[in-house]
Structure formats: C-alpha cells, structure tokens
Amino acid sequence: MSSGGSRRLGACLRCCLVVFALASALYVSGPALYWRFKKGIKFGDHSHSARSSSCSPCICDCPPPLSLIKIAPGLVNLSVTDCGKNDPDLNEEMEKEFVDLLTEELKLQEAVSSEYAHHMNATYIEARRVASQYQREAEKCNSATEICEGARERAEALLIKEKKVTAMWEKRARRLGWEGE
C-alpha cells in the first residue's frame, strides 16, 4: 500500500471516529438535553404551569420495585472499579495512548489487507496455471480430433474406392455367369 493511500485511510478513519464520537455523544446526552429544554419551556409558560399544578396527585397501587439483592444476590458484592485490575495485558492496553491504538489498528488492517492481497495473488497465479493447463489439454484434444478426422476421411475414401472395385468385380462376375447369392 502506498504512503498516500495509508494517509487517506488514516484520515478517513479519523473522520469516521469523530463522526462516531459525535453521534454517540448526541445519543447519550440528547434525551437529557431534550427534557431539560422542554422543562425550561414549560416553566416559562405560566398558564401551562398553573394548569399542571392544579392536577390532583396520582394514586398508585403498584407493588414496590424488586431490589437488586432479591434479583441477583451475587451482583451486590461485585465492584466495577477493580474489574481487570490484576490483568497485566488489560493494564498495558489501557495505558496506551489513543494515537498509538489507532496506529496499531491501522497496522493490523494493513497486515490483513496485505495478507488478503497475497492470498488473491496466489489464487490468481493458480487460476492462470490451471487455465494454461486446460488450454494445453484443449490444444491436444483439438490436435487429436484433427488427426482422427483425417483418418476418418481417408478411411471413407478407401471405403468408396473399395466399393467401386467390389462393384466392378461383381459386374465382371455376373457377365461371366455368376448369379450371386
């Protein structure tokens, strides 16, 4: 891969990552911002807030929500802060810079594309070899067919000649008194 191609690939990857980061941020914070904005508009509208404050409180007869301890007792003892703390590979990966991670990802992609290109070249060379072999076999077959066709034509000419000779001998034999079978 040329250096210009890898630069374009790197720029494209960065652009995709920026778009992904923006979309993720909007997806995560969008609903909260929407409701905060909507509440701000409601508080600014005095007639609407007066109507909403005049509503009677809702009476709910719902059962209390299940606690996490009742649903999955083993989950309460787990803490997320020490997750992977003792894994040296994970610690090493987490200490890497973002650019280093992107560089490593690009190197991996380049290695995969190089391997893919090598595989495709090998497949192409094998296909050309097989096509050449089939071409040689086809030429042999055509040559054998021409030889057989020539032999058939000679045999047909000899048969016609032999039939003429046989007809001539039969004619002479009949003239001499042979009556045939």
Q: How far apart are CA 181 and CA 179, in angstroms?
A: 7
Total domains in the fold of the chain: 1
- pLDDT at position 117: 94
Residue 22 lies in a domain: no
Tell me how long the chain is.
Answer: 181
For the chain, where are the alpha helices, taking DSSP H only?
3-44, 46-53, 68-71, 88-95, 98-175
Residue appearing with tokens 């911002």: 33
CA–CA dist 107, 100 (Å, integer): 10
Q: Which domain holds residue 130?
A: 114-181
- Residue 138 vs residue 31, higher pLDDT: 138
Spell out the long-range contacts of 58-62 with Cβ–Cβ below 8 A and sequence spacing 24 or more.
none
pLDDT tens digits along 70-107: 666 665 555 555 565 677 777 777 776 777 878 889 99
pLDDT digits (tens, 9 = 90+) for 105-163: 999 999 999 999 999 999 999 999 999 999 999 999 999 999 999 999 999 999 999 99
pTM assigned to the model: 0.34
